[in-house]
Structure 1
Amino acid sequence: MDSTPTNFLQTIIGEDLAAGRVDKVVLRFPPEPNGYLHIGHAKSISVNFGLAEANGGHCNLRFDDTNPEKETQEYIEAIQEDVRWLGYEWSGEVRYASSYFQQLYDWAVELVEQGKGYVCDLSADEAREYRGTLTEPGRDSPYRERTIADNLNLLSRMQAGEFKEGERVLRAKIDMSSPNMNLRDPILYRIRHATHHQTGDEWVIYPTYDFAHGQEDAIEGITHSICTLEFEDHRPLYNWLLEHLPVDSRPKQYEFGRLNPSYTVTSKRKLRTLVEDKIVAGWDDPRMPTLAGLRRRGYTATAIRRFCDMIGTTRSDGVVDIAMLEFAIREDLNESAARGMCVLNPLKVVLTDFPADTVEEISASGHPSREDLGQRVLPFTRELFIDAADFREEANKKYKRLVLGKRVRLRNAYVIEAESVLRDEKGGVVEVHARVVPDTVGKDPADGVKPKGVIHWVSAVRGKRAEVRIYDRLFNDEAPDKGDNNYLDHLNPTSLTVIENAWIEPGLAAAVPEQYFQFEREGYFVADRHDHTPDKPVFNKTIGLRDTWGEGR
């Protein structure tokens, strides 16, 4: 499939290259290291790295690490791993906003010297009151007319650590009556007595994202600063700062619609709450929309990139049906996942006419259309497990599985006929006795009595016990955090079911972590990347076999 972007951003870049306004495309992916990347970030990654690749340019990975209180080295390492897992590689070394702190501070001093910046003593509550509203202009801070000398002195003392957090900030002097709230004397620097993961205790004042971002782009020679639509109203400030500072280049900002999947929240704050309150088992819990969570659940990088291509890149926000992502992973795994059999709810079947000490090895294909996935060996024994849902003592003609007195085919193996059952003290069926119809591996019975259907099975003697984790959507509401919704009220109580007594064909125990399979008739599963071992197999359900996306279109 041709992955060359064909969107409005590609048009802009193509025109800039053709007109000679840009010699080489230089883009960047600038995450804040305050959490794990989620599916929305996958769109930004694919846009920036994809456009760079398509146009012979390069893309930087830059951490906008201007808030040390919420950032950790763990997040930095996880983000790098996610970008590489998606199949992208950044240009040169990893970059950090913190590498430019001295230059940014020098530029802040220059704004003050121009009379374009001032130190403000208003408290946070007072500043909100002075800022005004969308319908009412703001009011000038009483500290707005401090002299340049006073502002330089106070800024120097802020940098030296003389003041408490929140006691003073550095603000740009722009226009308190601007209809754009971002231009109403925005904060450029704030005091934070916190150790930074890169610079240690060297700094006690830190630039805001709005002040740092454009200047970082300029330092790195970014040609097209691509971000999501919530930053559109920040663009005038981005441009104002570039115009008033002696930067070597003038990047231009362009915005595209962010990815908002249904049945999902992508706010890092809300995702962090899920982790910290132990609603999920961590950032990589397979129910999380993080890339680490999706990966652990069995979603492939190929499917996620295809999903990003499917939804396109537009200038408008909108909700994307999460079923499109599920469609993408089914399409990928249907082609790439080896086949196997797993019984989730085992019911023993004893083949009364099959020798107790015999193990017959039956060959089955690893994939119906992939010869490169080879053959697998299925040990066939007197005692088997089938799924309890695949047996009834009585059933109507629509039931195509095993019924007393009726026949069914065991997948890749013999036709069997159920004859009797054993019950427990409560009358429940705990064992089915059946006979093997001879000479029926791969063909219909010679007596012409065809089986009703096909069911999966595992040898009770040679099979392996496994833990299988069945995942569903974390939220049962299409828009869990829309409007006044409390997203925690819409948690799906059955988002995780753990089956500790599943049985798998023996070869599956040797799977390597992150190896994908289609468990026949059950869905797609992956060997857990952290917990799976040959001695204790653990598989996560990625997605069911049935696809509903696009029905009725």
Structure 2
Amino acid sequence: MKKNNHKINFINHIINKDFEKNKKIKVRTRFPPEPNGYLHLGHAKSICLNFGIAKYYNGTCNLRLDDTNPEKENKNYVESIKNDVKWLGFKWHGKEHYASEYFNKIYQYAIELIKKGLAYVDRMSKKEIKIHRGTLNTKGKNSIYRTQSVKENLFLFKQMRKGRFKEGSMCLRAKINMSSSYIIMRDPVLYRIKFVRHHKTEKKWCIFPMYDFTHCISDAIEKITHSLCTLEFENNRRLYNWILKNININFYPKQYEFSKLNLEYNILSKRKIKKIIEKKIIKGWDDPRIMTIIGLKRRGYTASSIREFCNRIGVSKKNNLIEICALEACISEELNKNANRIMAILNPIKIIIENLHEGYKENILLKNHPKNINMGTRKAIFSKEIYIDKKDFCENSHPGYKRLSLGKEVRLRYAYIIKATKVEKDNKGNIKNIFCVCDLNTLGKNPTDRKIKGVIHWISALNAIKAKFNLYNYLFLIKNPELEKNFLNFINPKSLVIQYGLIEKWSKKIKPGSNYQFEREGYFSADYKEFTNKNLVFNRIIKLNR
């Protein structure tokens, strides 16, 4: 067994018991997404679990695209899934697989069930089947087609395969138990007719197996030892086992369920995310406000921070709501160690230093990281005119105020102590300029005759370049929007606040997608989609706690 950062969970205990029974067992897992959308943080949890378990036991993990519904699937989703798995740092065993690779075999297994009298062709409509299936409180009713002969069912199913019937006119159902306390076992549909072009098989097939029929057979063909899925498939395990028991297949995977990921102030349902996009509340699947992998990547989250998050929250059989701060802590801790610092002013106001002459220009060394000297320094310009953030000035402050105000002193980060003397206002009473004096004896040292409590960041007018800052906040105003039927009513109207400010001039050389800490503001990422040296766009990853 290969030890790594994998956090031990209940699935490890199950596998350990399997090893006690069979020392030669070769652990094989799989990550089996449907290529009908983009992966999100919940998928990341499953990816980390499946690949992590395989690595821990020196086994293998397959990537399989369960492409059984051509209406909702396409090649773009396939490529995005593959890219996301790679970006997260995982490599699947061999080539990627597709459920559609096994369509011929799955079709033959359906024939086998029909010949055994365990499947039949039903002519009822989708609505009628649902009514006949009953509810949790009422038993289901047998279809009138349930007693058709094997010969009739074989003939009809083969005619379905040839495209002789209209879409929705009939389907193949398993013959199990319409009185079962588990609705999934009340003669579930195994095949349906769809005249839709498939991204892999093109027009070869006009009947397609249902996910539940396909999934267990695909696992068995690939000799998956431990089929790991979320708790929503717990009841489906009965059908999973029934299918494998009743077909002639020589490998029997076992399904185990774990809790799906629920994260505060977010939704992970692809259907609901699609609705938010359609309503133009967000800009697409890579919008940094949602928890898709591409959205998190664009916001500035790193693959290692997501892996660390998935490891920290662990795996259990109990559904719970994960605090958003658990995710934020992972990226904050990482970037605190390795992100270069930059001065950026999100809401600038000008300071004029009265005791410096026109044209005054001084180079000052700024640390790229306050605790890591190996990350080096950079030159900044100190001049007569500088900019600070408007929130760092108060004309008439209270006694405990630790930033700049009239008659009080504050230190400029890595530079001098200044004191505000007066302000200049426009005809509406808004402050245009703040006038200050600078104590030129305080560069790199503190005065002995007084104590300076506040430190603020700044940029020289000679060293400033315009930039756009996307300030992202939680998308929802409530902790668990997944529970709300009208979840759109709880959208945060300030989930994105755009500000135009200033940043150090050298920042135009930054590579798109790179992350930095803006001193006293937060961690930001150069938007890899929009950032250029002429269009500086930064996405706030998270705020600083200050």
**Please, what TM-score do these two structures have when normalized by structure 1?**
0.96
Q: Which runs of 5+ in 2 are unaligned?
A: none
How far off its partner does 1:136 sit? 1.7
Matched residue type, 1:497: V
Partners in 2 of 1:450 and 1:371 — Cα distance? 27
How far off its partner does 1:48 sit? 0.3
**2:494: which partner in 1?**
494
How far off its partner does 1:22 sit? 5.2
**2:166: which partner in 1?**
164
- Cα offsets for 1:427-478 (capped at 9, x unmatched): 21110111221132211236x2443411000112221110000000111111
- Specify the SS of the correspondent of 2:321: strand
Question: Is this contact kept in 2: 1:26–1:221, CA < 8 A?
Answer: yes
- Cα offsets for 1:496-530 (capped at 9, x unmatched): 01112x11112322221121111111111111111
**1:154: which partner in 2?**
156
Question: Is this contact kept in 2: 1:466–1:536, CA < 8 A?
Answer: yes
- Cα offsets for 1:22-52 (capped at 9, x unmatched): 5211100000111111111111111101111
How far off its partner does 1:53 sit? 0.8
The answer as to 2:474 corresponding to 1:473 is: yes
Matched residue type, 1:504: I
Question: Is this contact kept in 2: 1:406–1:451, CA < 8 A?
Answer: no
How far off its partner does 1:130 sit? 1.0
The answer as to 2:429 corresponding to 1:427 is: yes
Equivalent position to 1:128, from 127, 130, 138: 130
Question: Is this contact kept in 1: 2:6–2:311, CA < 8 A?
Answer: no
Equivalent position to 2:146, from 144, 147, 150: 144
**2:180: which partner in 1?**
178
How far off its partner does 1:401 sit? 1.1
Partners in 1 of 2:253 and 2:374 — Cα distance? 49
- Specify the SS of the correspondent of 2:447: coil
Equivalent position to 1:23, from 22, 25, 28: 25
**2:460: which partner in 1?**
459
- Cα offsets for 1:518-549 (capped at 9, x unmatched): 111111111111111122111001111129xx
209-218 vs 319-328, which moves further:
319-328
**1:268: which partner in 2?**
270
Partners in 1 of 2:361 and 2:217 — Cα distance? 71
How far off its partner does 1:357 sit? 2.3
How far off its partner does 1:18 sit? 3.7
CA RMSD of aligned residues (A): 1.5
Count of matched residue pairs:
544
Q: Which runs of 5+ in 1 are unaligned?
A: 548-553
- Specify the SS of the correspondent of 1:68: coil
Matched residue type, 1:87: G
**1:259: which partner in 2?**
261
The answer as to 2:443 corresponding to 1:441 is: yes
Matched residue type, 2:328: E
**1:522: which partner in 2?**
521
Question: Is this contact kept in 2: 1:223–1:252, CA < 8 A?
Answer: yes
- Specify the SS of the correspondent of 1:133: coil
Partners in 2 of 1:2 and 1:402 — Cα distance? 50
Change (3 A) 1:25 1:2: closer
Partners in 2 of 1:485 and 1:442 — Cα distance? 58
**1:508: which partner in 2?**
507
Partners in 2 of 1:24 and 1:449 — Cα distance? 71
- Specify the SS of the correspondent of 1:481: helix
Partners in 2 of 1:361 and 1:15 — Cα distance? 66
- Specify the SS of the correspondent of 1:43: helix
Partners in 1 of 2:417 and 2:224 — Cα distance? 66
Question: Is this contact kept in 2: 1:509–1:534, CA < 8 A?
Answer: yes
Partners in 1 of 2:4 and 2:352 — Cα distance? 53
Question: Is this contact kept in 1: 2:266–2:476, CA < 8 A?
Answer: yes
Matched residue type, 1:520: E
Matched residue type, 1:61: L
Question: Is this contact kept in 2: 1:17–1:24, CA < 8 A?
Answer: no
412-421 vs 250-259, which moves further:
412-421
The answer as to 2:545 corresponding to 1:546 is: yes
How far off its partner does 1:21 sit? 6.3
**1:387: which partner in 2?**
389
Question: Is this contact kept in 2: 1:407–1:450, CA < 8 A?
Answer: no
Partners in 2 of 1:18 and 1:368 — Cα distance? 52
Question: Is this contact kept in 1: 2:380–2:463, CA < 8 A?
Answer: no
- Specify the SS of the correspondent of 2:240: helix
Matched residue type, 1:455: I
Partners in 2 of 1:392 and 1:136 — Cα distance? 69
Question: Is this contact kept in 1: 2:352–2:433, CA < 8 A?
Answer: yes
Partners in 1 of 2:454 and 2:78 — Cα distance? 52
How far off its partner does 1:421 sit? 1.6
Question: Is this contact kept in 2: 1:401–1:408, CA < 8 A?
Answer: yes
Partners in 1 of 2:524 and 2:42 — Cα distance? 24
Partners in 1 of 2:108 and 2:57 — Cα distance? 35
Partners in 2 of 1:379 and 1:93 — Cα distance? 54
- Specify the SS of the correspondent of 1:435: strand
Matches within 5 A, 1:406-417: 406-417=408-419
Matched residue type, 2:541: T
- Specify the SS of the correspondent of 2:482: coil
398-407 vs 178-187, which moves further:
398-407
Question: Is this contact kept in 1: 2:4–2:56, CA < 8 A?
Answer: no
- Specify the SS of the correspondent of 1:461: helix
Partners in 2 of 1:210 and 1:97 — Cα distance? 12
Partners in 2 of 1:318 and 1:22 — Cα distance? 36
Partners in 2 of 1:452 and 1:262 — Cα distance? 36
Matched residue type, 1:129: I
The percent identity for this pair of structures is 47
How far off its partner does 1:173 sit? 0.7
Matched residue type, 2:433: E
Matches within 5 A, 1:32-111: 32-111=34-113
- Cα offsets for 1:164-223 (capped at 9, x unmatched): 111000001111111111111100001111111111111111110000000000010101
Question: Is this contact kept in 2: 1:35–1:272, CA < 8 A?
Answer: no
Matched residue type, 1:24: K
How far off its partner does 1:268 sit? 1.0
- Specify the SS of the correspondent of 2:463: coil
How far off its partner does 1:2 sit? 5.6
Question: Is this contact kept in 2: 1:263–1:476, CA < 8 A?
Answer: yes
Equivalent position to 1:228, from 215, 230, 253: 230
Partners in 1 of 2:100 and 2:299 — Cα distance? 34
- Specify the SS of the correspondent of 1:419: strand
Matched residue type, 1:531: E
316-325 vs 172-181, which moves further:
316-325
The answer as to 2:349 corresponding to 1:350 is: no
Partners in 2 of 1:19 and 1:357 — Cα distance? 82
Question: Is this contact kept in 2: 1:415–1:445, CA < 8 A?
Answer: no
**Please, what TM-score do these two structures have when normalized by structure 2?**
0.97
- Specify the SS of the correspondent of 1:526: strand
How far off its partner does 1:365 sit? 1.3
Question: Is this contact kept in 2: 1:376–1:507, CA < 8 A?
Answer: no
Change (3 A) 1:22 1:244: farther
Matched residue type, 2:497: T
Question: Is this contact kept in 1: 2:157–2:172, CA < 8 A?
Answer: yes
**2:117: which partner in 1?**
115
- Cα offsets for 1:374-394 (capped at 9, x unmatched): 212212222111001111222
